[in-house]
């Protein structure tokens, strides 16, 4: 394993080292996670792991694997080959929390699974602790809130406030304004208007911070800033701030060019079946499916560890949703590791690299932690 030491570093982020290099870190993204949406995340992960495409996107289905079982079996074989003997750890985000239940079975069934061990970390799996029509209604209602408040808690991360004093400019703010903004807003007139509006609202927010009496006013300013940035955050999640050359590089690496993916008709049929299975699992209860998948892995003598991550500002999955699941897991002697990230929202996984670092650092030994 000596040749893997370099995997703890990403040459695109020099001087930065990463924890848990003995793992092969696999990210299963949520809804619409595929293609250009994943370029930034794939670049950041580098040699440490692999970011797959969701079946909610056409690039998720490769040519020649046009049914669900073949798709997940092919994906399992690909991940085992890519892992080069490292323990496979999967971060299943949102819709990926349903997809991973099929992938886990294919990995457990395979005799070449590294170390006969599998770690799965669920991040905001929809429907946890819920079932029936009431559960489906709650999921769709909350999903609308995710869309409505997209980027509200991450806006300062993507575009930090200017310094109160001095000429110091935050590197992320400079990157956003100098490199990303021209790609996100190509019209120079609109771009200048945005900068002026941003300067004005940022100045108001900074002034409000100096007075406790203006706390409520600051909240209104932050909401105004969110309205200004929301459209750009959506574009960033869709990868529109990244050059086309870089997109092509990662589309080719992950075999997501037109010649690699299944034809439209094949994808439509397969995605329709996948959608039916998603709704079926949500209606019957995702907890039930998770327990049966865990039992399957144990029956195949796979050392399986399961963890759940609660995002403090998540609008889709709330901390109380896990209560009945944890209770059932305890009664079945199924250990579930529990972690809480207080300051993250549902979409943070798509663009917040500090969260990716924290997820990779998780140690599935302690029973719970708040981060």
* Mean pLDDT confidence for 44-65: 95
Q: Residue 4 pLDDT more than 50? A: no
Q: What angle do CA 348, 354, 360 make, to 5 degrees?
A: 95
Domain positions in the chain are 2-130+247-370, 155-240
Q: Which residue has the higher pLDDT, 215 or 238?
A: 238
pLDDT at site 218: 83
Q: Residue 336 pLDDT more than 90? A: yes
Pairing of strands 368-370, 336-341: parallel
* Mean pLDDT confidence for 236-246: 96
Q: Which residue has the higher pLDDT, 4 or 160?
A: 160
Round the average pLDDT of the chain to a whole number and report it: 90
Q: What one-character DSSP code corresponds to residue 113?
A: -
- E strands within the chain? 23-28, 49-51, 87-93, 117-123, 303-311, 336-341, 368-370
Of 57, 99, 102, the residue nearest 262 (C-alpha): 57
The pLDDT tens digits of the residues spanning 286-333 come to 999 999 999 999 999 999 999 999 999 999 999 899 988 888 898 988
Phi, psi for residue 337 in degrees, rounded to 5: -85, 140
Token pair for residue 92?
A: 């299943």
DSSP calls for 70-111: HHHHHHHHHHHHHHTTPEEEEEEETTHHHHHHHHHHHHHH-T
- Given pLDDT bands bounded at 50, 70 and 90, which one contains residue 6? very low
- Given pLDDT bands bounded at 50, 70 and 90, which one contains residue 206? confident
pLDDT at site 1: 23
pLDDT at site 3: 29
DSSP calls for 289-344: HHHHHHHHHHHTT-EEEEEEEEETT-SSS-GGGGHHHHHHHHHTT--EEEEEETT-
Q: Residue 7 pLDDT more than 80? A: no
Q: Residue 117 pLDDT more than 80? A: yes
The pLDDT tens digits of the residues spanning 12-22 come to 555 566 667 89
Q: Which CATH class for the 2-130+247-370 domain?
A: alpha beta
* Mean pLDDT confidence for 169-188: 95
Q: Residue 10 pLDDT more than 60? A: no
* Mean pLDDT confidence for 204-211: 78
The pLDDT tens digits of the residues spanning 128-141 come to 999 999 999 999 99
Q: Residue 368 pLDDT more than 90? A: no
* Mean pLDDT confidence for 347-355: 95
Q: Residue 366 pLDDT more than 90? A: no
* Mean pLDDT confidence for 119-129: 95
The span from the CA of 28 to the CA of 106, in Å, is 15
Q: What one-character DSSP code corresponds to residue 152?
A: T
Q: Are 300 and 292 in contact, with CB atoms under 8 Å apart?
A: no
pLDDT at site 2: 25
Q: Are 68 and 274 in contact, with CB atoms under 8 Å apart?
A: yes
pLDDT at site 225: 96
* Mean pLDDT confidence for 62-71: 93
* Mean pLDDT confidence for 152-171: 86
pLDDT at site 13: 57
The span from the CA of 369 to the CA of 150, in Å, is 26
Q: Are 305 and 96 in contact, with CB atoms under 8 Å apart?
A: no
């Amino acid at each position: 394993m000596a040749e893997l030491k370099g995997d703890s570093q990403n040459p695109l982020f020099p001087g930065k080292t990463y924890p848990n290099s003995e793992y092969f870190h696999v990210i299963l993204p949520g809804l619409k996670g595929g293609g250009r949406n994943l370029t930034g995340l794939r670049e950041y992960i580098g040699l440490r792991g692999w970011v797959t495409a969701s079946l909610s996107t056409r690039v998720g289905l490769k040519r020649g694997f046009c049914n669900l079982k073949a798709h997940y079996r092919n994906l399992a074989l690909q991940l085992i080959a890519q892992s080069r003997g490292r323990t496979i750890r999967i971060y299943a985000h949102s819709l990926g929390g349903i997809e991973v239940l099929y992938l886990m079975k294919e990995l457990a069934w395979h005799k070449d699974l590294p170390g006969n061990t599998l770690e799965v970390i669920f991040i905001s799996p929809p429907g946890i602790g819920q079932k029936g029509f009431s559960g489906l209604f709650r999921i769709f209602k909350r999903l609308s809130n995710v869309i409505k408040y997209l980027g509200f808690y991450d806006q300062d991360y993507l575009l930090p406030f200017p310094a109160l004093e001095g000429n110091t400019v935050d590197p992320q703010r400079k990157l956003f304004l100098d490199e990303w903004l021209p790609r996100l807003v190509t019209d120079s007139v609109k771009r200048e208007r945005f900068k002026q509006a941003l300067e004005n609202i940022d100045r108001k927010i900074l002034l409000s911070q100096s007075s406790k009496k203006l706390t409520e006013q600051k909240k209104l300013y932050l909401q105004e800033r969110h309205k200004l940035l929301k459209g750009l955050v959506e574009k960033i999640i869709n990868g529109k701030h990244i050059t086309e050359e870089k997109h092509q590089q990662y589309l080719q690496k992950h075999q997501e060019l037109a010649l690699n993916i299944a034809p439209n008709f094949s994808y439509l049929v397969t995605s329709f079946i996948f959608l039916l299975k998603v709704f079926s699992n949500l209606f019957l209860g995702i907890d039930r499916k998770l327990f049966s998948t865990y039992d399957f892995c144990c029956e195949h003598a796979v050392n399986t560890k399961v963890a759940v991550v609660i995002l403090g500002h998540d609008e889709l999955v709330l901390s109380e949703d896990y209560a009945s699941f944890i209770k059932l897991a305890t009664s079945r002697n199924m250990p579930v590791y529990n972690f809480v990230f207080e300051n993250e929202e549902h979409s943070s996984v798509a663009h917040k690299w500090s969260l990716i670092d924290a997820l990779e650092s998780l140690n599935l030994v302690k029973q719970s932690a708040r981060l």
